[in-house]
Every structure is written in structure tokens, then in C-alpha cells.
Amino acid sequence: MFTDRSDSLADERPHRGYGVAVTPGERGPCALVTGYGLANRLLTWRDGALRDVASPAVADEGRHAIGVVAADLDADGYEEFYVHNTDEFGGRTRDTDLLLDPVECSPDCDGARWRDLYGLGINADRGNFRAGRSVAALDRYGTGRYGVFVASYGTPSRFYELGDDGELTDMASAVGLDVDACGRSLLAGPIVSESMDLFVGVERGPNRLYRNESGHYEEIAADVGVADRETDARGVTMADAAIAYGSWEGPNRIFEPREDGTFDDVAPPEFAQPTRVRTLACADFDNDGREELFVHVMGAGNRLFRRTPDGWSMLDPGPAAEPKGLGTGATVADFDGDGTLELLLVHGELAAQPLSLYAAENDRGWLRVRPTTQYGAPARGAAVTLETDEWTRTRVVCAGSGYLCQMEPVAHFGLGDAAPERVRIRWPDGRETTIDRPAERAEHEISHPMAPRF
């Protein structure tokens, strides 16, 4: 299915990386790829290629970065990058985390100056020295101001919110998110409520699922059937309303919701078959109106599945199989602005390997929706539903998924032969907007209903 576009990566040097997150720039998406003992990279499309434009503050060379997420923590309309550093497998670390704030709110990756908010005097004793894995953004109340959850490993997890003076406060215990488990992967969004919920994929124990109850969280994984003590969870993503996740050498799951609010595993044998899963990414790569589910694997062939009316069928990923790849992270974005999604793969679990880039050649129709918050930043966690003359699909703007990763903050719909009739956006605060007859082959930026109008 995929064609290799790795010649569009300007830097072909081997990289030992893990997570990758995407934020919008003025001229296109910007992807921060973490570096484990190496410099982080900040990639954006310039002159026909993805080029590294990381400043020294972003590169942060020498620390051990793995999980990363982008979100607007200070409600200024621009996203920060939260980078989780860990030089230990579990417990305590010597590295603390990095919270990159764009100085002067510069809207473009290669024009921004960044400062580390952990470096402020007010945060001198607030560094995170707990070893962890994935990071996700949560807007508890739907106010457009996000916090960051860090899945710790062997110690209680963190949930940071940022004050107006730049002070970081761990709110995990206060809001019911003090997870004491070997947390691996995170999925944030309207999973079981219309607000931002949180799924935590766990190794050596049951998964957790936290339902948002007016800004506080109640754990319900066992009640709805997704605790799954048999697996060591890795990558996780939403496939329409289903929770799909992979396991390390154990069965992989696709949990679809039932009408009674519980979940049922509908994974076909080819998907359930154990392998060494790292990251999952769900998107319509060929714009045919059906989602594909990409499984990024460490030390074995990657897998690809397509959703059909009868379930999920296995596809040939072509060169993206990478049977000798030491897969870690992955993200999806339309880097070159042509309406077809690219798949960016990161490697480096046991040794440094170059990044790789893939896309599916097609000329089918598409439609993209970019909801924004009250402040103009990406509305991560918003649900976007497209109705066509043939089908209805829902995408959630990614606030953290995959494993250690985050996808671009856009709801991308391939159209195939369908004609779009209306788009409905539901923000994390429950407010909605409907657009009739949206234009095809266009990206629609939709402001929050309470955003100031000038």
C-alpha cells in the first residue's frame, strides 16, 4: 500500500529516538522527534523536504527523551511541547522533564524562540524525577487550558497544570489521577463520556480507564471490560469509537463499545496474533473513506489493517513493513499539504536507525477539519463527525495516542466516492457547531463558539 518517501527526509543520519508529536506551524505541521541521549529534532516541510529546525533549547542534547506531547497549557493560543526524559527503566531518574514554551508566541517552528518552563525559578524544586513513558494532554473542564499527564513506571503518575505565573503544580491526587502502576501508553479524549477521559495501558497489571466526572476522574476499566490483565500493553489508538491497542508479545485487542456501555474485543486473529508492538496509528492513508490501522513493531515486520463492513482485514504495507526496523514511535500528518497523510516512523530501541517516511499514492477526495479552542490553539480532544451521502465517521483530535506519541491536531477524512453533507464539531466543554456542505479538498479551521470575534 505505502510508497517509500524517505528521500524527503533531509537528515538521513541514524537516530536513537522514541516519541514524536505534531503541532501546527504557520506554514505547515512541525514534528518534535525525541532523542535518547541525542538531540531532539524539530521537523517541518521546507523546500521539498522535512528539515530539522531545532534550536539548542529544543534539541536539549544529552538528556534521554522518550514521550512527548503538544498542548496549550497557558491559554495563549500557542502550543507548548512537554518532553518526558528518563534515564532509568523505572523508579527515580537523574533527568528531569522539559516544557518548551514558544517565546513571544511565534507561530512558526523555525521562527520561534523557546524557553524551558522547568528552568524558571518558581519551578526550581518542581522537576519530575519519576521514570515514565507516554504523555497526554487533558482539558478537564473544556476551558481550552490543558494539563499534562505523565504515565510513570513504578511510581505514582503525575498530572501537571500551569499557573499564570508559570508555576507547575502536580494535580494528580487532587483530581483522581494518581495512578500507581507500570503505565505505558495513553489515550485521551471522549472515550466513555462527552468530556476528556483517559485510558492508561499498563504492563504487569490491569489497564486503567478514567471517566471524566465534571473535571475529576473515576476509574472504571474493570466495570466496562477493558482492564485486560492478560496483556502487557503498548501502543493504543481510537478507531472510530473503538479502543485498539497492542501488546508486547501478547494478544492485541480492538475493544468496540456495546450499547450497554461495556466493550467487546472484536480483533481478528491476524491482528490479535502476538508480536512486539510499539506504536499504533489509525488514519485513512489512501483517502478511500475507510480507516487503516498501522502497527509499528520492534524487530519484526510491521502490520497494516483496513476497516471493512465485516471487520478488519489485513493488508500488505509494502516497504513500510520494515522487517529489520527497531520501531519505537510513529505519527501521522499531512506534512507537504497535498491532502494525503504521511506516516513518519521513528526507530532506535536497541540501536540508532534513520527515520523513515511513507505515503499512499492516490488522487481521491479528502476533507480536513481543524477545531480551535477559545484561545485559538488546537482543540485536542474535540470530536469531529462527518456525514456524507454514503456514510458517517467520527474522528477525535489527538491529545495523546500511539505509544509515547501524538498525531497532528486535525480530523482528516478521505472521501472515496462520497460527497460531504455536513460536519459537526463537539468541543470538550460540550458545545457544538455544525457546517453544511463543507468544501472538498480543503482544510477548514473552525473556532470554538465562545472564541472572541473581531
Residue 235 parent element (H or E): strand 233-239
Cell of 403: 505509544
What is the pLDDT at residue 37?
95
The pLDDT of 212-223, averaged and rounded, is: 97
Helix (H) and strand (E) counts for the chain?
Answer: 4, 35
Tell me if residue 331 falls in helix, strand or coil.
strand
The pLDDT of residue 107 is above 60: no
Q: What are phi and psi of 37, to 5 degrees?
A: 80, -5
Average pLDDT, the chain: 95
**Which pLDDT tens digit goes with each residue over 390-404?**
999 999 999 999 999
Count CB atoms within 10 A of the CB of residue 174: 12
Please, which pLDDT band fits residue 104 given cuts at 50, 70 and 90?
low
3-state secondary structure of 137: strand
- Helix (H) / strand (E) containing 420: strand 420-426
What is the structure's pLDDT at 344?
Answer: 98
Compute the distance between CA of residue 305 and CA of residue 27 in angstroms, rounded to an integer: 32
Of the chain, the percentage scoring pLDDT greater than 70 comes to 98
Which DSSP symbol is given to 292?
E
pLDDT of the residue at 105: 54
| Residue 113 confidence (pLDDT) | 87
Are 148 and 137 in contact by the 8 Å Cβ rule? The answer is: yes
Confidence at residue 306, expressed as pLDDT on a 0 to 100 scale: 96
Cα–Cα distance for residue pair 178/232, rounded to 1 Å: 20
pLDDT over 90 at 215, yes or no: yes
CA distances from 321 to 3, 99, 303, 347, 407 (A): 11, 34, 7, 13, 20
b/e sequence 286-318, b meaning 16+ C-beta within 10 Å: bbbbbbbbbbbbbeeebbbbbbeeeebeebebe
Q: How far is CA 96 from the centre of its chain?
A: 22
| pLDDT, mean of residues 39-68 | 96
Distance CA 40, CA 59 (A): 4
* CB contact set of 118 (below 8 Å; sequence gap of 6+): 96, 97, 98, 99, 126, 127, 168
Q: Which domains, ranges and CATH numbers included, belong to the chain? A: 3-359 (2.130.10.10), 365-447 (2.60.40)
**Is the confidence at residue 454, as pLDDT, over 70?**
no
All three cell numbers of 162: 500551569
Torsion sign (Cα): 355, 378, 132, 299: negative
pLDDT digits (tens, 9 = 90+) for 66-97: 999 999 999 999 999 999 999 999 999 999 99
> Which cell numbers in the block locate residue 355?
527515520
pLDDT for position 310:
87
E-only strand ranges, 37-192? 41-46, 49-52, 65-71, 80-85, 98-103, 113-116, 132-138, 147-152, 158-162, 168-170, 182-189
Decide if pLDDT at 108 tops 80: no
Per-residue pLDDT tens over the stretch 396-427: 999 999 999 999 999 999 999 999 999 999 99
- Note the pLDDT tens digit of each residue in 363-393: 999 999 999 999 999 999 999 999 999 999 9
Q: What would the grid cell of residue 149 be?
A: 499527564
Give me the pLDDT at residue 214, please.
Answer: 96
- Identity at 240, one-letter amino acid code: D
